[in-house]
Amino acid sequence: MATDAARSRATHAPVSGSTTFAAALMIFGGAMAIFEGISAIAKDDVFLATRHYVFEFNLTGWGWVHLILGIVLVLTGCAVITGAVWARYLGVFIASLGAIANFLWIPYYPLWALVLVVVNIFIVWALCHGMHQEIPPRT
């Protein structure tokens, strides 16, 4: 019985305020990335591609990247709220990828890309800060 309780503590940790903040930002940022991806896949007139950008990529390709990252970010944010430890590590990884993808997205929609870069950096900070606070002492 004690083994099951120890296993449960290892996979689920208490959720602090910074972790809850990270989860909320993950769900918000992921939803915005999903909308951004759908808009890019639909080849909306919102986006203007600059010429001769170092990281040239098809607008539809960028749309799929943002859509997939957004879906994974929302699902991971929901798992972070439940206290799943694995979700925190995955959240740091996915938010880092999101920050990089939005940095490369700057020529298509500069202001919004920068906003999402900042949101993703806050997610990484909040998840790492929450992990540091919630590490239980070893006995």
Q: Give residue-wise pLDDT tens across range 37-77.
A: 898 888 766 666 666 666 666 778 888 999 999 999 999 99
Q: Give residue-wise pLDDT tens across range 73-85.
A: 999 999 999 888 8
- What's the Cα-to-Cα distance from 45 to each of 20, 39, 92, rounded to whole Å? 36, 9, 32
The total of other beta-carbon atoms located within 10 Å of residue 27's CB is: 18
**Radius of gyration of the CA atoms of the chain, in A:** 17
The total of other beta-carbon atoms located within 10 Å of residue 42's CB is: 12
pTM of the entire predicted model = 0.77
